Amino acid sequence: MDKNLKRMTTMHRMQTKGLELFYKKGFYNTSIDDILKELSLSKGAFYYHFQSKEDFFISIIQNLVVRKVYGMLIEPIEGETDPFTAIEKCFENALAIAEHNELDYGFVLGNFMNEFNGRNEEISKYLRDIYKVWEVNLVTTLQKGKTDGYVARHVDSEGVAAFLISSYMGIRMLMVEGNSRNLSYHFLQQIRQYMKSLAQTRLV
Amino acid sequence: MDKNLKRMTTMHRMQTKGLELFYKKGFYNTSIDDILKELSLSKGAFYYHFQSKEDFFISIIQNLVVRKVYGMLIEPIEGETDPFTAIEKCFENALAIAEHNELDYGFVLGNFMNEFNGRNEEISKYLRDIYKVWEVNLVTTLQKGKTDGYVARHVDSEGVAAFLISSYMGIRMLMVEGNSRNLSYHFLQQIRQYMKSLAQTRLV
DNA sequence: AAAATTACCGACCAAGTGGTCGGTTCAAAA
DNA sequence: TTTTGAACCGACCACTTGGTCGGTAATTTT
């Protein structure tokens, strides 16, 4: 267990830095040497721990991306009874993090889905699976919201889920350079407007 | 003029094939040789017409992307008096084209903005300019829609424009593999719902 | 203390990359 | 017919890429 610690530490350092650079510069446009240079490690160390660049990336998905998407975008909505409020808070939080230039894993997901689509089927599958869990979770919460009287009954939960995710990824795509604060404000405003039109009208 | 024709033909062939491959595999992940091989042309021919790979890409933006975005996404909305109907038709058409695997220039734009962001400031600027024209045009049309009684007066035109574009790009990001038909149907349904909530309630 | 295993080093390799350059083809101008 | 120049060819260059491999230092196991 003690010797496993060293192994884990080094692997984790590589994965963290790897994700940072892959996200910033793209997977195909980031060399292993780029990562190794920043960590002052050698090729030998890398290929001792990972079989290939692809294998390395898959380990990043499984160890970092999956968990973060869960923590940031799935769990905060999961148990909640009022779906629209939960979703609003969740997006608000995620966009705030994105503004501070930290990794926003919702968009990390979309970003990589985009880069690997049609180029690497295996990796694409891993990413799509995460997306699907996210989507299913949203649908479930929305459906439950109907029984609890928060969501209008005519609402197409699957359509709404797909639309929410896609608009979120879209706004993140446009949130570059300086206008990101302005954009995320606009986005949250409009998402509220949209969700309001889907809410069950309460009879008082 | 006659000899200019040959020049133009070759350049256009390179640009068309270049856009196709850059879009499919990414700019940095597509070599000039990849393009040349498919056209049975040589390096010499390429560097006779273009100064560099970057210069080549800029010419593609100016000659293909700009015009197509105008034709597909800006002009169809520009003159219309009823903004929401025009936008709906426009998106419907663009998504139908995307489904048939043809180049969808709205997303081409987003795709490249994403790839070049933080990596090539010059190219990013060209792309952002196109985006801005699109946005401004939407805002203008929405504002006019207020005077004409189609758009509710409380609506924040800039917010709506940003939201429409981002959700469009987002849905295109997710429209991969087989479920694209389903997704685009959902998207159009939800976009209608959203826009309905922004429409001026007509007094009959 | 000796042996074995883990973690890491860095020179090396084949296959590309963007870009250069001296040369060739061929239609139009002289 | 000769000359000229635009359009194109392809060998070549310096450099980077993912990946290999023989070696070594340090730590555990025996």
Interface of A with B (CB under 8 A): 24-26, 28-29, 110-111, 113-115, 117-119, 124, 128, 131, 156, 158-160, 162-163, 165-171, 173-174, 176-177, 183, 186-187, 189-191, 193-194, 196-198
Cβ-count burial A81-102 (b if 16+ within 10 Å, e if not): ebbbbbbeebbeebbeebeeee
**pLDDT tens digits along B132-173:** 999 999 999 999 999 999 999 999 999 999 999 999 999 999
Give the pLDDT of residue B105: 86
Amino acid (one-letter) located at A62:
Q
Is there a contact between B190 and A25 if contact means CB atoms under 8 Å apart?
no
Give the pLDDT of residue A180: 83
Q: Round to a whole number and report the distance in Å from the CA of B12 to the C1' of C24.
A: 24
What is the mean pLDDT of the segment spanning B39-56?
97
Q: Considering chain A, what is the average pLDDT of its residues? A: 93
Give the pLDDT of residue A200: 87
Asked whether the predicted pLDDT for residue B3 surpasses 90, the reply is: no
Q: Round to a whole number and report the distance in Å from the CA of A39 to the C1' of D21.
A: 22
Is there a contact between A187 and B162 if contact means CB atoms under 8 Å apart?
yes
Angle between helices A105-116 and B105-116 (to 10 degrees): 110
Domains present along chain A, CATH in parentheses: 1-50 (1.10.10.60), 54-196 (1.10.357)
Find the nucleotide nearest A30 (Cα to C1′). Answer: D17
Is there a contact between B167 and A165 if contact means CB atoms under 8 Å apart?
no
Cβ-count burial B48-87 (b if 16+ within 10 Å, e if not): ebbeebeebbbbbbeebbbebbbebbbebbeebebbbbbb
Asked whether the predicted pLDDT for residue A59 surpasses 80, the reply is: yes
